[in-house]
Chain A
Amino acid sequence: MMTSLHSFLFIALPYLTMGVFLVGTFYRYKVQSFKVSSLSSQFLENEKLFWGSTAFHVGMMAVLCLHLIAFLFPRTLLAWNSYPIRLILLEVTGFVFALSFLAGLILLFVRRIYVPRIRVVTQWTDLLIEVLLLFQITLGCVIAVLYRWGSSWFASDLSPYLWSLVRLNPDLQTIIAMPEIVQAHVVGAFLILLVFPFTRLIHSLVAPLHYLWRPYQQVIWLWDRKRVRDTRKKWSEHLPKNT
């Protein structure tokens, strides 16, 4: 049975989320660029951060990748899962990374509460996002245990729903049929994306991958003096020359 709550959670909320995410991110990046930062607190506390942050980030990246694969290439994933051994391998790997994700987050959360120096640099958005993530990962882990072989049913049942959203033709059939705990996990994901631009999560969008391609040294010229000093041209003609 489709209720109005369903249509709110699975139609209105995702579109609202996407809209807020795009506009919010653009605004943060363009207008508030100074305030876009990973806000690292390693400088104030190092040891707990090492364990917490590493476990958290590595686990998070792996889990996120697996979810993305299931969303983007459901058929490939199903084909891979057609051999039980591969399926089990994938599920176990995913679960281990999820646990690392969870353990890292708990450690970071505890650190945030108990280290006085870190409490000083804690904002309510940090707590908000950490609680949301905690809720989301815990749900994810419970689902992985209760409803076995999530990589397969994600690809076969959840992906079509998500793709129907992308195609602007929402089809709630599969999602409504899912257990409530899975539905909560999906809603949790939307909520996280909704607040994403206004929390420290935004730093993941400015991850410095371009560093790998750029030359080490950077010299920036405000003026191409040769052109500025050329009296035959308009004096104001100038281009920043970046080498």
Chain B
Amino acid sequence: MDIRSQISMVFHLDKCIGCHTCSIACKNIWTDRKGAEYMWWNNVETKPGTGYPTKWEDQDIYKGGWKPAKNGAIKLRGAGKRQLLNIFSNPNLPTIDDYYEPFTYKYLDLIESPEGEVQPTARPVSLITGKPIDIKMGPNWDDDLSGTPDFARQDSNLKALSPAQSQAMFQLEKMALYYLPRICNHCLNPACVASCPSGAIYKRGEDGIVLINQDVCRAWRMCVGACPYKKSYYNWNTGKSEKCILCYPRVEAGLAPACMHSCVGRIRYLGVVLYDAEKILQTASGEEQNLVDTHLDIIVDPNSPEIIRAAKSNGIADSTLRAAQNSPAYKFVKQWRLALPLHPEFRTLPMLFYVPPLLPVMASVAAKDNDPKSLNPIAKIWDDTRVYDTSMDKVFGTIDEARFPLKYLASLFSAGDEAQVKIRLKKLMAVRIYRRHLTVGDIQANQATQALDEVGLTAKDADAIYYLTSLAQFDDRFVIPASHREQALEMLEFTGDVKGCTGFGTKEHPGRGP
């Protein structure tokens, strides 16, 4: 056993309102620079949709992540030692047009144009060439299903559905969407690290944050294609790759990362989980149908005396252990088994987990389709006959008859295993039923207990889930052990001295070299 600690995250998708505040918070702190304009270390996608960069999930295009190899091993799909031959021109590298050409507007023209017949306009110009451009694409142009034929219908996950099923998803009255905020997953078996020929990328032992040493990166660009989540970006100006750093200077000081701190929907949770590093390879090379279970198995119980002993002998500090015991991530992922990893079949063992969205699934249309619309005499609006079915006649009925095929969610969150998604949705539903019994009262106690029993939750669990989902305060959502202050200071100080110790590894002014 080799117990290590990892900062892990949970995003509760039912709560995300798609406001992009997280993206802006991140952009303002980290990527508001030349060469990084197009980067969104945090981005929010609408699902179904093609995402950013376009079709990042389709590994037939970008060849990211790991794939099973002979005799139970795994190998990098499009990178690795043999692919060093591609170093002069990497065939799996997305180019700027797969993201979007960054642009701004000539706002000054609005003020400085001479008086004339027509109103001055602010023309869009490219942030790369400075020339006027015709904007074709932005980082979130598929927002809220806009441009559905170009975006939502091209979603790679629809491959998992039958043509009839995916057709049904796009009937107007059945259409549904949810948001998928994404950051780097700070994986346990990161493909970016493994693909970097320079050895510039590494995982920090202390907290598992994956970083690129800016002094060692030489623009071989292998990580960009190899990360199946496309969360390593190439800075075309400095000739260095960059990625989400999980705001490590903030985390070291015990603060929440900027995207999480600013999250309007309060969907984000961050905490320590302990895992057994000896099992990484074995877990990553597991059978596809068990991937979710084995993935969760690598995370160990921070309350078990045996684990605590092993963790201590590995030098994990008491404060970190305490944080692991109170970790909201551990609760969502392991204790209640509510959260799932995104695309576990990429086999990088992501440490960011998602509570799958219940709302679009249960949002079945009430069977009032035959009723003619009626004008509400008071509100003077047409009563919409298409409303969420909130009836409780059939417990869990809406999940089975979901209008969002479970297969689609399963393709995203459980390598195609519908049962894994379904049990989690049922748990979310059971908690709602239980709360409805308590607050609205139109559900009988026995019905509520029956719902909880069926998914294996107790009333106490349900209360805790409800609390952490709806009422949790800042300190409940973010349980971060600070680095010990004296060590934190030296971590910064030592950044430039020791090759790739922590942080960016550079003290130089970051400019483009000759």
Contact = CB atoms under 8 A, between A and B. Distances in A.
B468 interface: no
B356 interface: no
A220 B487 contact: no
Nearest to A206: B218
B466 interface: no
Nearest to B4: A219
B214 A217 contact: no
A218 B193 contact: yes
B21 interface: no
B-side binding surface: helix, strand, loop or mixed?
A: loop
Interface centre among A38, A44, A216 (most CB of B within 10 A): A216
Nearest to A31: B508
Interface in B39-95: 76, 80-81, 84, 87-91, 93, 95
Contacts of A217: 189-190, 193-194, 203, 280
Contacts of B87: 208
Given A217-B190, A219-B203, A223-B487, A211 B511 contact: no
Contact of B205 (A41, A54, A56, A241): A241
Interface stretch (A63-71, A77-85, A120-128, A142-150): A120-128
* Size bracket of the B interface: 35 or more
A119 B126 CA distance: 14
Contacts of B76: 216
Nearest to B91: A50
Interface string B210-238: 00001111111100100000000010111
Contact of B93 (A43, A221, A228): A43
Given A39-B219, A40-B221, A43-B236, A33 B193 contact: no
Contacts of A36: 218, 513
Interface in B100-141: 128-131
A100 to B, nearest CB: 12
Interface stretch (A3-11, A174-182, A197-205): A197-205
Given A32-B513, A123-B514, A217-B189, A42 B194 contact: no
A198 B510 CA distance: 17
A34 B84 contact: no
Contact of B89 (A50, A206, A243): A50
Contacts of A237: none
Contacts of A123: 512, 514
A53 interface: yes
Contacts of B502: 220, 222
Contacts of A155: none
Contacts of A39: 219, 239, 512-513
B201 interface: yes
Interface stretch (B333-341, B374-382, B432-440, B493-501): B493-501
* Size bracket of the A interface: 35 or more
A199 B280 CA distance: 42
A33 B238 CA distance: 12
A167 interface: no
B90 A42 contact: yes
Nearest to A37: B239
B202 interface: yes
A116 B130 CA distance: 10
B218 A53 contact: no
B129 A116 contact: yes
A181 to B, nearest CB: 30
A129 to B, nearest CB: 9
A240 B219 contact: no
Contacts of B163: none
7 contacts: A38-B220, A40-B221, A42-B90, A211-B81, A211-B198, A216-B193, A218-B203
Interface of A: 28, 32-46, 49-50, 53-54, 56-58, 116-117, 119-121, 123, 125-126, 198-200, 203, 206, 208, 210-212, 214, 216-226, 228-229, 240-243
Counting from the closest, the 8 A-B pairs by CB-CB distance are A35-B513, A225-B315, A208-B197, A37-B239, A221-B205, A216-B194, A39-B239, A211-B197
